[in-house]
Amino acid sequence: MQPSVPIDDLDFILEHTADVWSKFSGARLFITGGTGFIGIWLLESIAWANKRLNANISITILSRNPDAFLKKNPRWSNSQGIQFIKGDVLDFEFPLGSYDIAIHAATDVAGVEQDYLNVFDSNVAGTRRVLDFCVKSGVKSFLLTSSGAVYGVQPPEISHLDEKYKGAPELNDLRSGYGEGKRAAEWLTNLYAIKYGINVGIARIFALIGPGMPLEGPFAAGNFIRDVLNEKNIAIQSDGTALRSYLYAADMTIWLLKLLENESSVKVFNIGSEQAISILDLATAVDKKHKEKRMITLGQQPDHSVLPQRYIPATQKAQRELLVVEYTDLESSIKKTLHWYKGLVHG
């Protein structure tokens, strides 16, 4: 059966990560969140490296419901070197043996607005549980998928947030549970790195776009793609002026793998695009890539007397130290994502 992400993207990822596979050839990898959007891209890329490059990386994937995932994705059931174990990141039983690499990508972003305490606990206690596993299992390289939410609300007069920005989520806002949880997870990761000598990479991930991205929940690009696929008008809940940027999933995967391979003891990088676009312009761009043009409606009228909200990373550090770039422009990202989802709809 075919991979669950485009093969041309997987080939592109391997082309730009040759050093990763030579370094981690024969390694044992443990991953949480391996069945989520980010995790699937990492999992597919590693499996593709095993197939095409004989990387011989064995993978253990922690999942709350592996049976449901394998029923939906049966090709993983008999994949050589890949093992699924059932458990919650908060209290999973440690798999036996030693491991070389761990990737903690388990995060329920879609649940941020539903259960603040559970989101906070999953980020903090879940990260500590994974780090304890790393210590017990002899993990040498650990990757934490954090978030741009650790910076709090971006001041509209600052065009791009870099890794040295000292902002933080608003403590009196319950919605800050996700960002505060990620901040605590980063603190724990730094502590374990120093105390136990683990090489850690922290990826502060901003907005993404690509095959497999959630179409429901608080994801504007996914919502717009869902609307056009369902032949519905695009309904923007806000005034459409807020500025976002979107990194394509294959690009993200390259950046994360290069970060994992980096030799520094503790490194923190923004992962995202620097190319800002308003929510209204994003909706228009998605609509233009679909054959049937839809009406775009705004939930509020814009107030042009105030600066628009922003959520845009500065990524010069990642580009300089990881030797990466934004390989895929937004127009191509939208086109590729729409094409992939249309393939799912029409079989």
Per-residue pLDDT tens digits for 285-344: 999 887 677 788 888 888 888 899 999 999 999 999 999 999 999 999 999 999 999 887
18 within some domain: yes
Contacts of 62 (CB under 8 A, 6+ apart): 30, 31, 32, 34, 85, 87, 89, 92, 106
Structure confidence at residue 339 (pLDDT): 92
Per-residue pLDDT, averaged over 133-141, amounts to 97
Q: Give the distance, in angstroms, between the CA of residue 234 and the centroid of all CA atoms in the same chain.
A: 25
Give the relative orientation of helices 116-137 and 177-196 as an angle to the nearest 10 degrees.
10
**CA torsion through residues 210, 213, 218, 220, sign:** positive
pLDDT exceeding 70 applies to what percent of the chain?
Answer: 96
What are 167-210's pLDDT values in tens digits?
999 999 988 999 999 999 999 999 999 999 999 999 999 999 99
Give buried/exposed letters for 32-69 (b at 16+ CB in 10 A, else e). bbbbbbbbbbbbbbbbbbbeeeebebbbbbbbeebeeb
Query: Whole-angstrom Cα distance, residue 98 to residue 91?
Result: 19
What are 257-277's pLDDT values in tens digits?
999 998 776 799 999 999 999
184 within some domain: yes
What are 14-52's pLDDT values in tens digits?
999 999 999 999 999 999 999 999 999 999 999 999 999
pLDDT band (50, 70, 90) for residue 345: low
Query: Whole-angstrom Cα distance, residue 115 to residue 139?
Result: 32
Structure confidence at residue 301 (pLDDT): 86
Q: Which domain holds residue 86?
A: 7-209+247-273+312-328
* Amino acid (one-letter) located at 152: G
Structure confidence at residue 346 (pLDDT): 55
130 has a pLDDT exceeding 60: yes
- Residue 132: half-sphere exposure toward Cβ, Cα within 13 Å: 12
- Total residue count of the chain as it appears in this document: 347
Query: Whole-angstrom Cα distance, residue 203 to residue 270?
Result: 6
**CA torsion through residues 182, 188, 193, 196, sign:** negative
Least confident of 180-184, 232-236, 250-254: 232-236
286 within some domain: no
Q: Give Cα separations from 291 to 108, 228, 283, 286, 335 (angstroms).
A: 33, 9, 14, 11, 12
The pTM for the full model equals 0.94
What are 5-22's pLDDT values in tens digits?
999 999 999 999 999 999
**CA torsion through residues 315, 320, 321, 322, sign:** positive
265 within some domain: yes
> What value does the mean pLDDT of the chain take?
92
The residues facing 277 across adjacent strands are 244
Query: Whole-angstrom Cα distance, residue 254 to residue 264?
Result: 18
87 within some domain: yes
Q: For residue 36, what is the domain's CATH number?
A: 3.40.50.720
339 within some domain: no
CB 161 within 8 A of CB 312: yes
- Residue 310: half-sphere exposure toward Cβ, Cα within 13 Å: 18
What are 73-120's pLDDT values in tens digits?
888 888 889 999 999 999 999 999 999 999 999 876 655 566 888 889
The closest alpha carbon to 109, from 41, 187, 182, belongs to 182
As for how many domains the chain has, the answer is: 1
Structure confidence at residue 216 (pLDDT): 86
133 within some domain: yes
226 within some domain: no
